[in-house]
Amino acid sequence: MSPSTPVLPALLGRFGWHDLPFVRAWQNPTASEIIGAFAGGLVVVGAIAVAAVLTRHRWWGRLWSEWLTSLDHKKIGIMYVVLAGVMLSRALIEAVLMRMQQAVAIDAPGFLSPDHFGQLFSTHGSIMIFFMAMPFLTGLINYVVPLQIGARDMAFPWANSVALWLTIGGAGLMMASLVVGEFSTGGWSGYPPYTERDFSPGVGVDYWIWAVTLGSIGSTMAGINIACTIYKLRAPGLRFMRMQMFCWTSLCTAILMIFAMPPLTVATLLLALDRYADFHFFTNDLGGNMMNYANLFWLFGHPEVYILILPAFGVYSEVVSTFSSKDLYGYVSLVLATMAIAVLSFTVWVHHFFTMGQSANINAVFGIATMTIGVPTGVKIYDWIWTMFRGEVRFTVPMLYSIAFMMTFVLGGFTGIILAMPPLDYLVHNTLFLVAHFHNMLIPGLLYGMLAGYHYWFPKAFGFRLDERWGRRAFTCWVVGFYLAFFPLYVLGASGMARRTQAIFEPSFRPWLYVAGVGAFILLAALASLMIQLYVSIRDRAATMVEAGDPWDGRGLEWSVAAPPPEYNFAGLPHVDGRNPFYDDKHDAGRPDPYRSPTDYSDIEVPRGSMAGIAIGLGAAVAAFGLVWEMWWLTLVAAEVVVAALILRSFGRNQHRTIPAAEIAAEHEAWLARVRATRPIPRRLETQAINRGLAEVRA
């Protein structure tokens, strides 16, 4: 029997032994197959190692009850960020492999086959967008926004859990493709007709379809939840124009999620109908039109760019204001610019296919719209610069990321103006110039922003600060590695080097590819530095505890509670009378003590943990896995589990528990006593061990 012949097709669908990377590497021990088998083995060994550690330390029960089934927005936010970190590690390693392949494949075959290289750039893009960036920003929003608006939780805690586990399920499918089968070679955008079954009959495109579909549904749910939370759960007195900028950018991001994610879901489901049911929505015959897919995908795709960037803009606003010890300059203009970006993001999607044949008039309209969206972005840059002007700027790690972003993002914006001109875009659209541009926007824009937020709010989430020295080392590697890895691509693109290229036939490209390769390794060192920083910080956490809760002299309500915050967030809901009530209480004479006790304590109701979110998310992932391999019985059983979980949850009783007022009072008063016993420290000492989370207030 051939290794590619299905094994027990009634039970295992179209699975054959050749679908295991270990079998392929045994039969054809090329470098490409061995790398694939090693990656698959790493996933298996890693999963076994994690299970062994949890079993050895008897952490399964605590993990299940306190984390996996929790509906607490803070724990859900942390799990989102952990998922993003895991997927970032995989995607960055794949990027290094691609860059190394191009550096050695100059008039040579290199070590990756064309098919394997195609899978790598597809997984790299898909993971970075859907399973690194989206979980990272959703996690930060989940954690911070309820605290900033004075709420106890998200509007729909259970839906929050379902959205998380749908995202984890989609990421699980991405990881499963390493162990069994293969992934799509159609890029992160999945353009048909190449992704139709006639051209890609394997399981790779199906993995992509269902992973992205689960992720997009989860993001849609998250967007609805975030918007409803901000609309309906703001503390008394917290009018819209008193919200922190991170709340504004989160609200606009949520609205974009609500309206931009459904076109993606529709596009992937229609493509699935083409592949599974022989429909012809996007084929070359029988009435199909691939441009319908392009319009649907980019109707999502360009708002997606701003879904990614707007939360980072909110982080920079918080960081720049805090570490300049100044109110945000031009708050109203920042709010208006954020809303303008959100609206304009739906008017520019056609610039992603200027080369696909629409008329010059249409191209001109979308080119002008693309240039226009740079105006509100420029407003933000100027406002941040003026916030720093004559401020007490402290060059902490979050502030360093913010400054590096402003410098680098402006350079990327200039190249965006170039690409907004249809004739110039036509010349460089399919070259590395475009790759350099969008990495120039997304790495400083999104990744630096998420890392700044990670460093900024980490002490709030865990009660101790991250190690400053390793943070600076990681920052240096991210910045230097970025410039070396991507700025040479501008030169290569302008010289005509095509993107998605597995082998190179122009020797003059060699030095630039070598420089880009060095940059890729420095970026890998940046990731390693972040991991070392986390390890060192946990090891030395006794010296960096900030349980008083305010290590940076923060401005928003999130800094007015303990670190980490209690499950209910606030012992008594705050009353907001300005833009920065907590900061004003600390620094303005005659205002109330920011660490005062509530007038009275009352019982607080919080949601109980629920396993229904796990059942729905992972059940949907298993059903999708069955669809990939045409194991119809598995799809049916898993779908029934999803439906059963929904029905049982709807009939559930006792879904909340009450925390007694006496318990809340005891916990809160104990924290206030610790605050009063803590020594306030000046800002110049905030990165030293003396900082226990209480800022010195100057007269």
Q: What are the boundaries of each domain within the chain?
A: 59-545, 547-610+655-699
pLDDT value at residue 588:
85
pLDDT value at residue 519:
97
Q: Give the H/E segment covering residue 659.
A: strand 656-659
Separation CA 609–CA 657 (nearest Å): 10
Phi then psi for residue 325, to 5 deg, are: 55, 45
* CA-closest candidate to residue 436, choices 508, 484, 380: 484
Per residue, what are the HEC states of 597-630?
Answer: CCCCCCCEEEECCCCHHHHHHHHHHHHHHHHHHC
Compute CA distances 108 → 105, 164, 502, 503, 656, whole Å. Answer: 5, 44, 10, 7, 64
* CA-closest candidate to residue 671, choices 587, 549, 574: 549
On the CB side of 498, how many CA atoms lie within 13 Å of its CA? 6
C-alpha 424: how far from chain center = 31
Separation CA 173–CA 211 (nearest Å): 6
**Cα four-point dihedral sign 155, 451, 566, 570:** negative
The residues, ordered by sequence, that sit 6+ positions from 172 with a Cβ below 8 Å of its Cβ are 618, 621
The residues, ordered by sequence, that sit 6+ positions from 338 with a Cβ below 8 Å of its Cβ are 245, 248, 249, 252, 310, 313, 376, 380
- Cβ(402)–Cβ(452) below 8 Å: yes
pLDDT value at residue 589:
77
pLDDT value at residue 11:
92
- Cβ(649)–Cβ(158) below 8 Å: yes
pLDDT tens digits for range 462-475: 999 999 999 999 99
pLDDT value at residue 352:
86
pLDDT tens digits for range 42-96: 999 999 999 999 999 999 999 999 999 999 999 999 999 999 999 999 999 999 9
pLDDT value at residue 1:
52
Mean pLDDT by 10 residues, the chain (699 residues): 75 93 94 95 95 94 95 97 97 96 93 95 96 97 97 96 98 96 94 93 96 97 98 96 97 97 97 95 90 94 94 97 95 96 92 86 91 92 95 95 96 91 91 95 95 97 96 98 97 94 93 97 97 97 93 94 95 91 87 87 94 96 97 97 95 92 95 94 90 81
Find the angle CA(472)-CA(474)-CA(480) to the nearest 5 degrees: 100
Separation CA 625–CA 617 (nearest Å): 12
Report the CATH fold assignment for 59-545. Answer: Cytochrome C Oxidase; Chain A (1.20.210)
pLDDT value at residue 108:
92
